[in-house]
């Protein structure tokens, strides 16, 4: 039977690559994001793919509830939710960071992810079938200067994913947290508020992961046998590793 996947943040980067990957596999797609021109561009490339595109800001609980309530016939049984919409804003130290940036990251990466999960889970539990795939980050495990609230939101995603598994142990629902490292998308342009030169510098001299790499992993975790749950995937490009612990000396 044709399966249905709901992807948040499908207008760019990982989410868009996931939409394209699952379209190739013949899934029904629910694609969401705030930029409607991007959603239109994305869906116009497919002729035979059943797709439901929804303009959605994941921070808006009423809009999330309405989206789930108003899913059209054929799209109501969501088999996979990819909680991908998210962002980092700024790279300043905690004493200098913009509080509004912190609010936006918390509202999007934590609250938005919770809204989608809470609204789609009851139907999954009723059907005893489903898969929640959260896009965390290595920043949720390994601290780095300026990662402050962004990393903390992804640490939330890690623990929330684990706690979902404990709540759902009596069901066949799977929960996966995918934690990528350095990946080239619009992520850094957003982080630096549109400063393309700063964003390009992040990837200079590296071979980062690509959105296609992440989409392959998202597809893989859905394709293992139903009794197998890939709980966590931590993935970095070969050019990246965890830094050493730091010591500041006064001499």
In the list ligand 8X3, ligand NDP, none, the entry touching 186 (Cβ below 5 to 8 angstroms by class) is ligand NDP
**Distance (Å, whole) CA 109 – CA 88:** 9
CA distance 32 to 58: 9
Residue 34 or 198 having the CB closest to ligand NDP: 34
Q: What DSSP character marks residue 204?
A: T
Touching ligand NDP, residues 98-117 (CB under 6 A): 108, 112
Residues 195-214 that bind ligand 8X3 (CB under 6 A): none
Coil, helix or strand for 232? strand
Cα–Cα distances in Å, from 102 out to 8, 16, 33, 54, 173?
Answer: 20, 25, 20, 26, 32
| Closer by beta carbon to ligand 8X3, 130 or else 208 | 208
The full DSSP string for 130-181 is: -EEEEE--GGGTS--TT-HHHHHHHHHHHHHHHHHHHHTTTSS-EEEEEEE-
Q: Which of 39, 78, 139, 164 binds ligand 8X3 (CB under 6 A)?
A: 139
Stretch touching ligand 8X3 by CB under 6 A, among 62-70, 115-123, 132-140, 203-211: 132-140
Q: Which residues form the interface with ligand NDP (CB under 6 A)?
A: 8-9, 11-15, 33-35, 38, 56-59, 84-87, 108, 112, 135, 137, 180, 182-183, 185-187, 190, 211
Return the active site residues: 150
């Amino acid at each position: 039977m044709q399966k249905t996947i709901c992807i948040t943040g499908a207008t760019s980067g990982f989410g868009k690559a996931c939409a394209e990957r699952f379209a190739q596999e013949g899934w029904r797609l629910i694609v969401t994001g705030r930029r409607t021109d991007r959603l239109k561009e994305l869906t116009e490339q497919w002729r035979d793919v059943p797709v439901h595109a929804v303009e959605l800001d994941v921070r808006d609980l009423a809009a999330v509830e309405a989206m789930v309530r108003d899913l059209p016939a054929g799209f109501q049984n969501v088999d996979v939710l990819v909680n991908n919409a998210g962002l980092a804003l700024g790279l300043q130290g905690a004493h200098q960071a913009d509080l509004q940036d912190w609010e936006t990251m918390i509202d999007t990466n934590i609250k938005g992810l919770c809204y989608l999960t809470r609204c789609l889970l009851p139907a999954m539990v009723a059907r005893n079938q489903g898969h929640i795939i959260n896009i965390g980050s290595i920043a949720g495990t390994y601290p780095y200067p300026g990662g402050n609230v962004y990393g903390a939101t992804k640490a939330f995603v890690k623990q929330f994913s684990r706690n979902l598994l404990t709540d759902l142990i009596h069901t066949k629902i799977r929960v996966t947290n995918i934690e990528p490292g350095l990946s080239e998308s619009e992520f850094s342009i957003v982080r630096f508020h549109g400063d393309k030169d700063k964003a390009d510098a992040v990837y200079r001299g590296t071979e980062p992961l690509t959105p296609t790499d992440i989409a392959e992993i998202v597809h893989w975790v859905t394709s293992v046998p139903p009794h197998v749950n890939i709980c966590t995937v931590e993935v970095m490009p070969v050019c990246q590793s965890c830094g050493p612990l730091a010591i500041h000396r006064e001499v």
